[in-house]
Chain A
Amino acid sequence: MTTTFLLIDLPMILEKFVLILVVVMASLGIAMYTTFAERKVAAILQDRRGPNRAGPFGILQPLADGMKLFFKEEIIPNFSSKALFVLGPGLAMLTAIMTSAVIPWGDKVHFFNRDISLQIADINIGILYIFGVLSLGVYGIMIGSWASNNKFSLLGGLRAASQIISYELAMGISLIALLMITGTLSLKEMVVQQQNGYWNVVLQPLGFLIFLICSFAECNRTPFDLPEAENELIGGYHTEYSSMKLGFYLFSEYINMFISSVVMSTLFFGGYDVPFFDEAAHADWGNWLALIGIAALMFKAVCFIFLFMWVRWTIPRFRYDQLMHLGWRILIPLALFNMLVTGGVILYFFNK
Protein backbone atom coordinates (compact mmCIF):
# COMPACT_ATOMS: atom_id res chain seq x y z
CA MET A 1 0.00 0.00 0.00
CA THR A 2 2.79 2.43 0.86
CA THR A 3 4.33 2.26 -2.62
CA THR A 4 1.01 3.11 -4.23
CA PHE A 5 0.63 6.28 -2.24
CA LEU A 6 4.22 7.40 -2.74
CA LEU A 7 3.59 7.51 -6.48
CA ILE A 8 0.86 10.12 -6.11
CA ASP A 9 2.62 13.43 -5.82
CA LEU A 10 1.12 16.84 -5.18
CA PRO A 11 1.72 18.38 -8.66
CA MET A 12 -0.06 15.41 -10.20
CA ILE A 13 -3.10 15.92 -7.97
CA LEU A 14 -3.12 19.64 -8.81
CA GLU A 15 -2.76 18.92 -12.49
CA LYS A 16 -5.61 16.42 -12.44
CA PHE A 17 -7.78 18.76 -10.40
CA VAL A 18 -7.32 21.60 -12.90
CA LEU A 19 -8.07 19.20 -15.76
CA ILE A 20 -11.23 17.94 -14.02
CA LEU A 21 -12.32 21.53 -13.35
CA VAL A 22 -11.85 22.45 -17.00
CA VAL A 23 -13.53 19.31 -18.37
CA VAL A 24 -16.56 19.45 -16.06
CA MET A 25 -17.07 23.18 -16.54
CA ALA A 26 -16.58 22.86 -20.30
CA SER A 27 -19.11 20.03 -20.56
CA LEU A 28 -21.60 22.06 -18.49
CA GLY A 29 -21.02 25.08 -20.73
CA ILE A 30 -21.32 23.04 -23.90
CA ALA A 31 -24.52 21.45 -22.58
CA MET A 32 -25.89 24.96 -21.93
CA TYR A 33 -25.10 26.08 -25.44
CA THR A 34 -26.45 22.84 -26.90
CA THR A 35 -29.88 23.84 -25.58
CA PHE A 36 -29.45 27.14 -27.43
CA ALA A 37 -28.22 25.35 -30.56
CA GLU A 38 -31.18 23.00 -30.41
CA ARG A 39 -33.63 25.89 -30.40
CA LYS A 40 -31.78 27.61 -33.22
CA VAL A 41 -31.52 24.44 -35.33
CA ALA A 42 -35.21 23.71 -34.73
CA ALA A 43 -36.00 27.27 -35.79
CA ILE A 44 -33.96 27.03 -38.97
CA LEU A 45 -35.46 23.64 -39.90
CA GLN A 46 -38.95 25.02 -39.35
CA ASP A 47 -38.26 28.33 -41.09
CA ARG A 48 -38.49 30.43 -37.93
CA ARG A 49 -35.97 32.74 -36.24
CA GLY A 50 -35.55 31.10 -32.85
CA PRO A 51 -34.43 32.95 -29.70
CA ASN A 52 -32.99 36.34 -30.68
CA ARG A 53 -33.76 38.77 -27.83
CA ALA A 54 -31.09 38.16 -25.17
CA GLY A 55 -27.85 39.59 -26.53
CA PRO A 56 -26.75 39.62 -30.19
CA PHE A 57 -28.43 36.68 -32.04
CA GLY A 58 -29.84 35.58 -28.70
CA ILE A 59 -26.40 34.38 -27.62
CA LEU A 60 -27.13 35.05 -23.92
CA GLN A 61 -30.33 33.00 -23.95
CA PRO A 62 -28.91 29.91 -22.18
CA LEU A 63 -27.53 32.11 -19.38
CA ALA A 64 -30.96 33.65 -18.93
CA ASP A 65 -32.57 30.20 -18.91
CA GLY A 66 -30.05 28.91 -16.37
CA MET A 67 -30.56 31.90 -14.06
CA LYS A 68 -34.31 31.49 -14.32
CA LEU A 69 -34.07 27.86 -13.22
CA PHE A 70 -31.96 28.88 -10.21
CA PHE A 71 -34.45 31.52 -9.08
CA LYS A 72 -37.57 29.37 -9.39
CA GLU A 73 -39.42 28.02 -6.40
CA GLU A 74 -38.58 24.48 -5.35
CA ILE A 75 -41.66 22.34 -5.00
CA ILE A 76 -41.53 18.94 -3.33
CA PRO A 77 -45.01 17.40 -3.53
CA ASN A 78 -46.62 16.22 -0.30
CA PHE A 79 -47.06 12.61 -1.39
CA SER A 80 -43.49 12.14 -2.59
CA SER A 81 -40.55 10.51 -0.80
CA LYS A 82 -38.57 13.62 0.05
CA ALA A 83 -34.99 12.30 0.20
CA LEU A 84 -35.28 10.18 -2.94
CA PHE A 85 -36.96 13.07 -4.72
CA VAL A 86 -33.79 15.14 -4.28
CA LEU A 87 -31.46 12.19 -4.88
CA GLY A 88 -32.95 11.29 -8.29
CA PRO A 89 -31.89 14.33 -10.33
CA GLY A 90 -28.60 14.54 -8.41
CA LEU A 91 -27.77 10.98 -9.42
CA ALA A 92 -28.74 11.61 -13.04
CA MET A 93 -26.42 14.61 -13.15
CA LEU A 94 -23.60 12.82 -11.28
CA THR A 95 -23.50 9.94 -13.75
CA ALA A 96 -23.61 12.39 -16.66
CA ILE A 97 -20.57 14.23 -15.28
CA MET A 98 -18.65 11.07 -14.38
CA THR A 99 -18.62 9.57 -17.90
CA SER A 100 -16.15 12.21 -19.08
CA ALA A 101 -13.37 10.78 -16.86
CA VAL A 102 -11.82 8.31 -19.31
CA ILE A 103 -12.18 10.20 -22.60
CA PRO A 104 -8.88 11.26 -24.20
CA TRP A 105 -9.56 14.92 -25.05
CA GLY A 106 -6.25 15.31 -26.82
CA ASP A 107 -2.62 14.28 -26.80
CA LYS A 108 -0.11 15.58 -24.24
CA VAL A 109 0.52 19.25 -23.57
CA HIS A 110 3.75 20.57 -22.12
CA PHE A 111 3.48 23.15 -19.32
CA PHE A 112 5.88 24.00 -16.46
CA ASN A 113 8.33 21.31 -17.61
CA ARG A 114 5.70 18.63 -17.25
CA ASP A 115 4.00 16.47 -19.82
CA ILE A 116 0.32 16.73 -18.99
CA SER A 117 -1.94 14.09 -20.48
CA LEU A 118 -5.31 15.47 -21.59
CA GLN A 119 -7.15 12.48 -20.20
CA ILE A 120 -8.38 12.51 -16.63
CA ALA A 121 -7.81 8.81 -15.98
CA ASP A 122 -6.05 6.53 -18.44
CA ILE A 123 -7.36 3.18 -17.25
CA ASN A 124 -7.08 0.02 -19.31
CA ILE A 125 -10.80 -0.76 -19.09
CA GLY A 126 -11.86 2.66 -20.43
CA ILE A 127 -14.92 1.69 -22.47
CA LEU A 128 -16.17 -0.73 -19.78
CA TYR A 129 -16.02 2.13 -17.28
CA ILE A 130 -18.21 4.24 -19.57
CA PHE A 131 -20.72 1.39 -19.88
CA GLY A 132 -20.74 0.93 -16.13
CA VAL A 133 -21.42 4.57 -15.38
CA LEU A 134 -23.94 4.81 -18.21
CA SER A 135 -26.03 1.98 -16.80
CA LEU A 136 -26.10 3.75 -13.42
CA GLY A 137 -27.91 6.57 -15.23
CA VAL A 138 -31.08 4.47 -15.15
CA TYR A 139 -31.18 4.87 -11.37
CA GLY A 140 -31.40 8.65 -11.59
CA ILE A 141 -34.51 8.48 -13.76
CA MET A 142 -36.07 5.51 -11.96
CA ILE A 143 -35.54 6.87 -8.43
CA GLY A 144 -36.80 10.32 -9.44
CA SER A 145 -39.92 8.97 -11.10
CA TRP A 146 -40.72 6.57 -8.29
CA ALA A 147 -40.17 9.21 -5.61
CA SER A 148 -42.61 11.60 -7.33
CA ASN A 149 -45.50 9.23 -6.56
CA ASN A 150 -47.24 10.36 -9.72
CA LYS A 151 -48.75 7.85 -12.13
CA PHE A 152 -47.44 9.59 -15.21
CA SER A 153 -43.94 9.97 -13.78
CA LEU A 154 -43.84 6.33 -12.80
CA LEU A 155 -44.92 5.23 -16.27
CA GLY A 156 -42.28 7.46 -17.83
CA GLY A 157 -39.63 6.07 -15.51
CA LEU A 158 -40.60 2.47 -16.29
CA ARG A 159 -40.50 3.16 -19.99
CA ALA A 160 -37.10 4.83 -19.64
CA ALA A 161 -35.68 1.95 -17.62
CA SER A 162 -36.78 -0.82 -19.98
CA GLN A 163 -35.81 1.19 -23.04
CA ILE A 164 -32.31 1.99 -21.78
CA ILE A 165 -31.53 -1.54 -20.64
CA SER A 166 -32.90 -3.06 -23.85
CA TYR A 167 -30.67 -0.95 -26.05
CA GLU A 168 -27.67 -1.39 -23.79
CA LEU A 169 -27.53 -5.05 -24.81
CA ALA A 170 -27.30 -4.31 -28.53
CA MET A 171 -24.82 -1.52 -27.82
CA GLY A 172 -22.57 -3.87 -25.84
CA ILE A 173 -22.59 -6.56 -28.52
CA SER A 174 -22.00 -4.10 -31.38
CA LEU A 175 -18.93 -2.87 -29.54
CA ILE A 176 -17.43 -6.36 -29.23
CA ALA A 177 -16.80 -6.49 -32.98
CA LEU A 178 -14.88 -3.23 -32.60
CA LEU A 179 -12.88 -4.61 -29.68
CA MET A 180 -11.91 -7.62 -31.80
CA ILE A 181 -10.26 -5.22 -34.25
CA THR A 182 -8.56 -3.00 -31.69
CA GLY A 183 -7.70 -5.68 -29.14
CA THR A 184 -7.85 -3.16 -26.29
CA LEU A 185 -10.43 -1.53 -24.04
CA SER A 186 -8.39 1.64 -23.50
CA LEU A 187 -9.78 4.61 -25.42
CA LYS A 188 -6.36 6.23 -25.67
CA GLU A 189 -4.87 3.20 -27.42
CA MET A 190 -7.82 3.04 -29.79
CA VAL A 191 -7.15 6.63 -30.87
CA VAL A 192 -3.44 5.92 -31.38
CA GLN A 193 -4.31 2.90 -33.52
CA GLN A 194 -6.67 4.98 -35.64
CA GLN A 195 -4.01 7.68 -36.08
CA ASN A 196 -1.71 5.09 -37.59
CA GLY A 197 -4.32 3.19 -39.60
CA TYR A 198 -7.90 3.55 -40.79
CA TRP A 199 -10.72 5.06 -38.79
CA ASN A 200 -12.80 2.30 -37.25
CA VAL A 201 -15.93 3.43 -39.08
CA VAL A 202 -14.35 2.17 -42.31
CA LEU A 203 -13.79 -1.25 -40.76
CA GLN A 204 -17.04 -1.41 -38.79
CA PRO A 205 -19.82 0.41 -40.69
CA LEU A 206 -22.60 -1.87 -39.41
CA GLY A 207 -21.25 -1.78 -35.87
CA PHE A 208 -21.20 2.01 -36.01
CA LEU A 209 -24.80 2.16 -37.24
CA ILE A 210 -26.02 -0.07 -34.42
CA PHE A 211 -24.00 1.93 -31.89
CA LEU A 212 -25.45 5.19 -33.24
CA ILE A 213 -29.06 3.98 -33.01
CA CYS A 214 -28.44 2.66 -29.49
CA SER A 215 -26.91 5.92 -28.33
CA PHE A 216 -30.02 7.77 -29.55
CA ALA A 217 -32.04 5.40 -27.39
CA GLU A 218 -29.68 5.69 -24.39
CA CYS A 219 -29.93 9.49 -24.46
CA ASN A 220 -33.76 9.35 -24.66
CA ARG A 221 -33.62 11.42 -27.82
CA THR A 222 -36.27 11.40 -30.52
CA PRO A 223 -37.32 9.00 -32.07
CA PHE A 224 -36.78 7.19 -28.76
CA ASP A 225 -38.10 9.87 -26.38
CA LEU A 226 -41.01 7.83 -25.07
CA PRO A 227 -40.09 8.41 -21.40
CA GLU A 228 -41.14 12.03 -21.83
CA ALA A 229 -43.79 11.67 -24.50
CA GLU A 230 -45.61 14.87 -23.63
CA ASN A 231 -48.92 14.05 -25.32
CA GLU A 232 -49.44 10.89 -23.28
CA LEU A 233 -47.38 11.37 -20.10
CA ILE A 234 -47.44 15.15 -19.38
CA GLY A 235 -43.69 15.60 -18.84
CA GLY A 236 -42.78 11.96 -18.31
CA TYR A 237 -40.42 11.18 -15.43
CA HIS A 238 -39.81 14.84 -14.59
CA THR A 239 -43.45 15.94 -14.38
CA GLU A 240 -43.23 16.85 -10.69
CA TYR A 241 -39.88 18.56 -10.82
CA SER A 242 -39.28 22.29 -10.73
CA SER A 243 -36.40 24.72 -10.33
CA MET A 244 -32.82 23.43 -10.62
CA LYS A 245 -33.88 19.81 -10.05
CA LEU A 246 -35.72 19.94 -13.35
CA GLY A 247 -32.66 21.70 -14.71
CA PHE A 248 -30.51 18.75 -13.63
CA TYR A 249 -32.64 16.32 -15.62
CA LEU A 250 -32.61 18.51 -18.72
CA PHE A 251 -28.92 19.27 -18.35
CA SER A 252 -27.94 15.64 -17.82
CA GLU A 253 -29.71 14.77 -21.06
CA TYR A 254 -27.67 17.36 -22.95
CA ILE A 255 -24.40 16.37 -21.25
CA ASN A 256 -25.11 12.74 -22.12
CA MET A 257 -25.71 13.78 -25.70
CA PHE A 258 -22.39 15.63 -25.80
CA ILE A 259 -20.49 12.80 -24.14
CA SER A 260 -21.96 10.15 -26.43
CA SER A 261 -21.04 12.32 -29.42
CA VAL A 262 -17.47 12.45 -28.11
CA VAL A 263 -17.46 8.69 -27.43
CA MET A 264 -18.69 7.95 -30.95
CA SER A 265 -16.03 10.25 -32.41
CA THR A 266 -13.38 8.55 -30.30
CA LEU A 267 -14.43 4.99 -31.03
CA PHE A 268 -15.26 5.25 -34.72
CA PHE A 269 -13.95 8.55 -36.08
CA GLY A 270 -10.40 8.70 -34.79
CA GLY A 271 -10.91 10.87 -31.70
CA TYR A 272 -8.44 13.76 -31.77
CA ASP A 273 -6.89 12.50 -35.00
CA VAL A 274 -6.85 15.01 -37.88
CA PRO A 275 -7.52 13.19 -41.18
CA PHE A 276 -4.75 13.13 -43.82
CA PHE A 277 -2.30 14.77 -41.42
CA ASP A 278 0.71 13.00 -39.94
CA GLU A 279 0.84 14.00 -36.26
CA ALA A 280 4.16 12.26 -35.62
CA ALA A 281 5.93 14.30 -38.34
CA HIS A 282 4.90 17.58 -36.73
CA ALA A 283 5.85 16.72 -33.15
CA ASP A 284 7.85 19.97 -32.91
CA TRP A 285 4.62 22.02 -32.94
CA GLY A 286 4.19 21.06 -29.29
CA ASN A 287 1.13 22.48 -27.60
CA TRP A 288 -0.35 23.75 -30.87
CA LEU A 289 -0.57 20.16 -32.11
CA ALA A 290 -2.55 19.19 -29.01
CA LEU A 291 -4.81 22.20 -29.56
CA ILE A 292 -5.47 21.18 -33.19
CA GLY A 293 -6.32 17.70 -31.90
CA ILE A 294 -8.84 19.07 -29.38
CA ALA A 295 -10.36 21.24 -32.12
CA ALA A 296 -10.69 18.20 -34.40
CA LEU A 297 -12.42 16.19 -31.65
CA MET A 298 -14.77 19.07 -30.89
CA PHE A 299 -15.62 19.50 -34.56
CA LYS A 300 -16.54 15.82 -34.84
CA ALA A 301 -18.61 16.03 -31.66
CA VAL A 302 -20.47 19.10 -32.93
CA CYS A 303 -21.29 17.26 -36.16
CA PHE A 304 -22.80 14.42 -34.13
CA ILE A 305 -24.75 16.83 -31.93
CA PHE A 306 -26.15 18.40 -35.09
CA LEU A 307 -27.13 14.92 -36.29
CA PHE A 308 -28.97 14.33 -32.99
CA MET A 309 -30.95 17.53 -33.54
CA TRP A 310 -31.55 16.95 -37.22
CA VAL A 311 -33.04 13.52 -36.49
CA ARG A 312 -35.15 14.98 -33.69
CA TRP A 313 -36.93 17.35 -36.06
CA THR A 314 -37.17 14.86 -38.92
CA ILE A 315 -38.33 11.49 -37.56
CA PRO A 316 -41.51 11.07 -35.48
CA ARG A 317 -41.61 9.08 -32.25
CA PHE A 318 -41.86 5.28 -32.25
CA ARG A 319 -44.69 3.36 -30.66
CA TYR A 320 -43.54 1.38 -27.63
CA ASP A 321 -43.95 -2.06 -29.20
CA GLN A 322 -42.05 -0.88 -32.28
CA LEU A 323 -39.25 0.32 -30.03
CA MET A 324 -39.01 -3.02 -28.26
CA HIS A 325 -39.25 -4.85 -31.59
CA LEU A 326 -36.35 -2.84 -33.03
CA GLY A 327 -34.20 -3.29 -29.96
CA TRP A 328 -34.68 -7.00 -29.27
CA ARG A 329 -35.58 -8.58 -32.60
CA ILE A 330 -33.52 -6.55 -35.04
CA LEU A 331 -30.54 -4.90 -33.36
CA ILE A 332 -29.42 -7.73 -31.07
CA PRO A 333 -29.37 -10.48 -33.78
CA LEU A 334 -27.80 -7.99 -36.20
CA ALA A 335 -25.08 -7.13 -33.69
CA LEU A 336 -24.39 -10.83 -33.03
CA PHE A 337 -24.17 -11.46 -36.79
CA ASN A 338 -21.78 -8.51 -37.16
CA MET A 339 -19.62 -9.86 -34.35
CA LEU A 340 -19.34 -13.37 -35.82
CA VAL A 341 -18.64 -12.10 -39.35
CA THR A 342 -15.97 -9.71 -38.07
CA GLY A 343 -14.34 -12.48 -36.06
CA GLY A 344 -14.39 -14.90 -38.99
CA VAL A 345 -12.99 -12.36 -41.48
CA ILE A 346 -10.16 -11.29 -39.17
CA LEU A 347 -9.16 -14.88 -38.40
CA TYR A 348 -9.37 -16.00 -42.03
CA PHE A 349 -7.58 -13.11 -43.73
CA PHE A 350 -5.48 -11.20 -41.20
CA ASN A 351 -4.34 -13.64 -38.54
CA LYS A 352 -2.04 -16.05 -40.32
Chain B
Amino acid sequence: MDFFFLQVQAQNSAENYFPIVIQILFAIGLLTLMIFGSDLLGPKRKTADKLQNFESGIEIKGNARQPIAIKYFLVAILFVLFDVEVIFFYPYAINFRALKWEGFLAVVLFVSSFLAGFIYIFKKGALKWEE
Protein backbone atom coordinates (compact mmCIF):
# COMPACT_ATOMS: atom_id res chain seq x y z
CA MET B 1 0.00 0.00 0.00
CA ASP B 2 2.84 2.37 0.87
CA PHE B 3 4.43 1.59 -2.45
CA PHE B 4 1.33 2.61 -4.39
CA PHE B 5 1.00 5.77 -2.36
CA LEU B 6 4.57 6.72 -3.24
CA GLN B 7 3.91 6.02 -6.89
CA VAL B 8 0.88 8.25 -6.89
CA GLN B 9 2.89 10.97 -5.21
CA ALA B 10 5.69 10.69 -7.73
CA GLN B 11 3.25 10.86 -10.61
CA ASN B 12 1.61 13.93 -9.23
CA SER B 13 4.68 16.06 -8.60
CA ALA B 14 5.16 19.45 -10.22
CA GLU B 15 7.76 17.91 -12.52
CA ASN B 16 5.04 16.04 -14.43
CA TYR B 17 3.21 19.25 -15.20
CA PHE B 18 6.32 21.02 -16.41
CA PRO B 19 5.96 19.91 -20.09
CA ILE B 20 2.47 21.45 -20.11
CA VAL B 21 4.02 24.80 -19.18
CA ILE B 22 6.50 24.43 -22.06
CA GLN B 23 3.62 23.63 -24.40
CA ILE B 24 1.60 26.68 -23.29
CA LEU B 25 4.60 28.96 -23.85
CA PHE B 26 5.28 27.36 -27.23
CA ALA B 27 1.64 27.63 -28.33
CA ILE B 28 1.36 31.27 -27.23
CA GLY B 29 4.57 32.10 -29.08
CA LEU B 30 3.40 30.36 -32.24
CA LEU B 31 -0.03 32.00 -32.20
CA THR B 32 1.36 35.49 -31.56
CA LEU B 33 3.74 34.99 -34.45
CA MET B 34 0.92 33.89 -36.73
CA ILE B 35 -1.41 36.76 -35.74
CA PHE B 36 1.27 39.41 -36.26
CA GLY B 37 2.57 37.65 -39.37
CA SER B 38 -0.79 37.67 -41.11
CA ASP B 39 -1.29 41.27 -39.98
CA LEU B 40 1.94 42.27 -41.73
CA LEU B 41 1.36 40.20 -44.87
CA GLY B 42 -2.16 41.29 -45.74
CA PRO B 43 -3.04 44.50 -47.62
CA LYS B 44 -4.52 47.44 -45.73
CA ARG B 45 -7.12 49.40 -47.63
CA LYS B 46 -9.71 50.33 -45.09
CA THR B 47 -12.89 52.19 -46.02
CA ALA B 48 -15.79 53.23 -43.81
CA ASP B 49 -18.13 50.75 -45.49
CA LYS B 50 -15.71 47.88 -45.10
CA LEU B 51 -15.35 48.47 -41.38
CA GLN B 52 -19.10 48.26 -40.79
CA ASN B 53 -20.58 45.13 -39.26
CA PHE B 54 -22.11 42.75 -41.76
CA GLU B 55 -25.72 41.96 -40.99
CA SER B 56 -26.87 40.56 -44.31
CA GLY B 57 -26.59 43.94 -46.01
CA ILE B 58 -29.37 45.49 -43.95
CA GLU B 59 -28.60 48.80 -42.30
CA ILE B 60 -27.46 48.25 -38.72
CA LYS B 61 -30.06 49.12 -36.12
CA GLY B 62 -28.73 49.67 -32.63
CA ASN B 63 -26.22 47.78 -30.56
CA ALA B 64 -26.04 43.99 -30.66
CA ARG B 65 -25.51 43.80 -26.90
CA GLN B 66 -29.13 43.91 -25.88
CA PRO B 67 -31.02 41.80 -23.35
CA ILE B 68 -31.37 38.27 -24.71
CA ALA B 69 -33.57 35.28 -23.94
CA ILE B 70 -33.29 34.11 -20.33
CA LYS B 71 -33.13 30.46 -21.45
CA TYR B 72 -29.46 30.70 -22.31
CA PHE B 73 -28.64 31.95 -18.82
CA LEU B 74 -30.78 29.27 -17.23
CA VAL B 75 -28.88 26.59 -19.13
CA ALA B 76 -25.58 28.09 -17.97
CA ILE B 77 -26.67 28.20 -14.31
CA LEU B 78 -28.05 24.65 -14.43
CA PHE B 79 -24.82 23.48 -16.04
CA VAL B 80 -22.76 24.89 -13.19
CA LEU B 81 -25.10 23.27 -10.68
CA PHE B 82 -25.04 19.81 -12.24
CA ASP B 83 -21.39 19.88 -13.26
CA VAL B 84 -20.38 20.37 -9.64
CA GLU B 85 -22.43 17.28 -8.81
CA VAL B 86 -20.79 15.33 -11.64
CA ILE B 87 -17.35 16.28 -10.34
CA PHE B 88 -18.21 14.47 -7.09
CA PHE B 89 -18.60 11.25 -9.08
CA TYR B 90 -14.99 11.26 -10.26
CA PRO B 91 -13.23 10.48 -6.97
CA TYR B 92 -15.94 7.91 -6.28
CA ALA B 93 -15.42 6.17 -9.64
CA ILE B 94 -11.70 5.82 -8.95
CA ASN B 95 -12.14 4.35 -5.45
CA PHE B 96 -15.35 2.51 -6.18
CA ARG B 97 -14.01 -1.06 -5.95
CA ALA B 98 -12.56 -0.39 -2.51
CA LEU B 99 -15.79 1.19 -1.25
CA LYS B 100 -17.90 -1.88 -2.18
CA TRP B 101 -21.72 -1.95 -1.73
CA GLU B 102 -21.69 0.57 1.09
CA GLY B 103 -20.24 3.23 -1.20
CA PHE B 104 -22.54 2.19 -4.01
CA LEU B 105 -25.64 2.69 -1.86
CA ALA B 106 -24.38 6.11 -0.84
CA VAL B 107 -23.95 7.00 -4.51
CA VAL B 108 -27.42 5.69 -5.38
CA LEU B 109 -28.71 8.04 -2.70
CA PHE B 110 -26.70 10.87 -4.22
CA VAL B 111 -27.93 10.06 -7.73
CA SER B 112 -31.53 10.06 -6.52
CA SER B 113 -31.12 13.54 -5.08
CA PHE B 114 -29.47 14.52 -8.38
CA LEU B 115 -32.47 13.09 -10.23
CA ALA B 116 -34.91 14.82 -7.88
CA GLY B 117 -33.36 18.17 -8.78
CA PHE B 118 -33.36 17.16 -12.41
CA ILE B 119 -37.05 16.26 -12.44
CA TYR B 120 -37.83 19.45 -10.52
CA ILE B 121 -36.27 21.68 -13.20
CA PHE B 122 -38.23 19.84 -15.88
CA LYS B 123 -41.50 20.26 -13.99
CA LYS B 124 -40.71 23.95 -13.61
CA GLY B 125 -40.19 24.09 -17.38
CA ALA B 126 -36.65 25.49 -17.13
CA LEU B 127 -35.55 23.64 -20.27
CA LYS B 128 -38.63 24.22 -22.40
CA TRP B 129 -37.38 25.52 -25.73
CA GLU B 130 -40.46 24.71 -27.77
CA GLU B 131 -42.42 27.92 -27.30
A5 to B24, CA, bound (A): 19
- Chain A residues at the B interface, C-beta cutoff of 8 Å: 4, 7-8, 13, 16-17, 19-21, 24, 69-80, 86, 90, 93-94, 97-98, 101, 120-125, 128-129, 146, 148-154, 158, 161-162, 165-166, 168-169, 172-173, 176-177, 179-180, 183-186, 234, 239-240, 243-245, 247-248, 320-321, 324-325, 328-329, 332-333, 336, 339-340, 343-344, 346-347, 351
A71 to B17, CA, bound (A): 37
Whole-angstrom distance between the Cβ of A4 and the nearest chain B Cβ: 5
On chain A, the residues within 8 Å of B120 by CB distance are none
Whole-angstrom distance between the Cβ of A346 and the nearest chain B Cβ: 7
A195 to B128, CA, bound (A): 45
The contact string, 1 if C-beta is below 8 Å from chain A, for chain B 85-105, is 011011001101100110010
Q: Does B1 contact A (CB under 8 A)?
A: no
A73 to B41, CA, bound (A): 8
A94 touches B27 (CB 8 A): yes
A165 touches B53 (CB 8 A): no
The contact string, 1 if C-beta is below 8 Å from chain A, for chain B 25-53, is 01110111011011101111110001111
A245 to B60, CA, bound (A): 23
A124 to B51, CA, bound (A): 49
A239 to B42, CA, bound (A): 19
A73 touches B42 (CB 8 A): yes
Q: List 16 A-B contacts (CB under 8 A).
A: A4-B15, A72-B42, A79-B60, A80-B53, A121-B17, A121-B23, A123-B12, A124-B16, A152-B55, A176-B93, A183-B94, A320-B129, A332-B118, A333-B118, A344-B104, A351-B100
Whole-angstrom distance between the Cβ of A227 and the nearest chain B Cβ: 12
On chain A, the residues within 8 Å of B24 by CB distance are 94, 98
Other A-B pairs, 18, CB within 8 Å; known A121-B23, A162-B75: A70-B37, A72-B42, A73-B44, A78-B52, A101-B19, A120-B19, A121-B18, A121-B20, A150-B55, A153-B64, A162-B71, A165-B83, A179-B93, A183-B97, A234-B56, A243-B38, A245-B38, A339-B111
Q: Known: A24-B27, A77-B53. Contact between A123 and B16, CB under 8 A?
A: yes
- Residue among A78, A124, A162, A239 making CB contact with B76, cutoff 8 Å: A162
A98 to B19, CA, bound (A): 11
B75 touches A98 (CB 8 A): no
On chain B, the residues within 8 Å of A70 by CB distance are 37-38, 41-42
A263 to B94, CA, bound (A): 19
A13 touches B22 (CB 8 A): yes
A168 to B68, CA, bound (A): 23
Q: Does B14 contact A (CB under 8 A)?
A: yes
- Chain B residues at the A interface, C-beta cutoff of 8 Å: 8, 11-20, 22-24, 26-28, 30-32, 34-35, 37-39, 41-46, 50-56, 60, 63-65, 68, 71-72, 75-76, 79, 82-83, 86-87, 89-90, 93-94, 96-97, 100-101, 104, 107-108, 111, 114-115, 118, 122, 127, 129-130
- Top 7 nearest A-B pairs (CB, nearest first) are A244-B38, A321-B129, A179-B93, A165-B79, A162-B75, A121-B19, A16-B19
On chain A, the residues within 8 Å of B23 by CB distance are 20, 24, 97-98, 101, 120-121
A124 touches B12 (CB 8 A): yes
The residue in chain B whose Cβ has the minimal distance to the Cβ of A95 is: B27
On chain B, the residues within 8 Å of A329 by CB distance are 122, 127
A346 touches B65 (CB 8 A): no
